[in-house]
Amino acid sequence: MARKRTVAFSRNAVNLFFHLLTRCNLDCRHCYINPDQHGTATLPLATVRRWLEAFQPRSRETNLVLLGGEPTLHRDLAHIIRLAREMRFGSLTVDTNGYLFHDILARVTPAEVDYFSFSLDGPTAEINDPLRGEGAFDACVDGIRRAVAQGFATSLIYTVSRANIDHLDRMGPLLKDLGITRFFIQVIGLRGRSAHPSGGPGTEPPEQVSREQWLNVIPPTAARVADLGISVTYPKVFLDPGEPFACAGLVAENYFVFPNGRVYRCPLCEDHPLHSLVFSDDRLVAMPPINEQDLFALTIPEGCVMNRLIQPGNIEYRPDGRPAYQIACCLLKEELRAE
């Protein structure tokens, strides 16, 4: 049996999510990248070096996730990984759609990359490809098999929406077959293309699932996958009665860096000019009010303030006007550790 625990925000580690570019070879219907807010630049190596230096671990461990867009489209990715190792960043993950450009697997070693984290949104091409693009399933599975064969540890992210929640249960056997050791279930957020559909046939974003669907499907499915010996992590989303609410923006150190220089502390703020920090002449400087920091401190009965502002549809109210439950911080996770 897997052991379940709620992963409270770590006060001992810093997590740095570094978007090296926003360009991508795919055009997922729920892509969270918003070029109007995140820019279209690919950061030059010299800039990446200076921005990494701003977060270089000092007293506390700093975990690094390199992402995009598609980070393997960055021709200097192998160099950046080596640079991060020299700077003594903690665990290092590369988030990829699986196409693994620039022969990246041949240019880095399993000692340099802790995880290649792949994204699939269905157990077959029939489910995945209408969401992520024609051929995306085969390319990703091929990328995972090559990474595992070369000794890299691999994880997989599945973004749950109404379009694929009924197929989540079939992911367990596939993950086992592929040799994936960590499974991350994500909830689709109202940002990027989900909040700003581009229009056109077949491009409408998949819808968020209801609370009932989430609670009926996600915890039991996660438990079944964990029983296969795979660690599973999923967002808490809905707090249990009496469970305390906390905003990671106040009690943890997570930084989400974009190539236009914006640095956010909260992923739900990324679609808005609410970033708390910005790189100016390669120096990290605080933004003046009003920014996301001013929102973190607000206390509301619904729990997460940003959720209340941008996706209030997932809150239900009692007849007396009080919310029926609180929405957790999007960074609060449930973790099922394979024993």
Give the residue with the Cβ less far from ligand SF4, 68 or 261: 68
- What are the residues binding ligand SF4 (CB under 6 A)? 24, 26-28, 31, 33, 68-70, 97, 119, 247-249, 266, 268, 295-296, 304-307, 329-331
| Paired residues of 264 in beta bridges | 256
Q: How far is the CB of 296 from ligand SF4 (least distance, A)?
A: 5
Give the residue with the Cβ less far from ligand SF4, 182 or 333: 333
Q: How far is the CB of 135 from ligand SF4 (least distance, A)?
A: 13
Q: How far is the CB of 86 from ligand SF4 (least distance, A)?
A: 27
Give the residue with the Cβ less far from ligand SF4, 2 or 28: 28
| Paired residues of 158 in beta bridges | 185
Q: How far is the CB of 13 from ligand SF4 (least distance, A)?
A: 16
Q: Tell me the C-alpha distance between 257 and 164, whole Å.
A: 29
Give the residue with the Cβ less far from ligand SF4, 151 or 312: 312
* DSSP class of 238: B
Strands, E assignment, the chain: 3-7, 13-19, 61-67, 92-96, 115-119, 154-160, 182-187, 231-235, 253-257, 262-264, 277-280, 283-286, 333-337
Taking alpha carbons only, the member of 263, 318, 322, 320 closest to residue 292 is 263
Give the residue with the Cβ less far from ligand SF4, 55 or 296: 296
Q: Tell me the C-alpha distance between 116 and 94, whole Å.
A: 5
Q: How far is the CB of 292 from ligand SF4 (least distance, A)?
A: 7
Could you give the 3-state DSSP secondary structure of residue 15? Answer: strand
Q: How far is the CB of 190 from ligand SF4 (least distance, A)?
A: 12
DSSP string for 181-192: -EEEEEE--SSG
Give the residue with the Cβ less far from ligand SF4, 63 or 311: 311
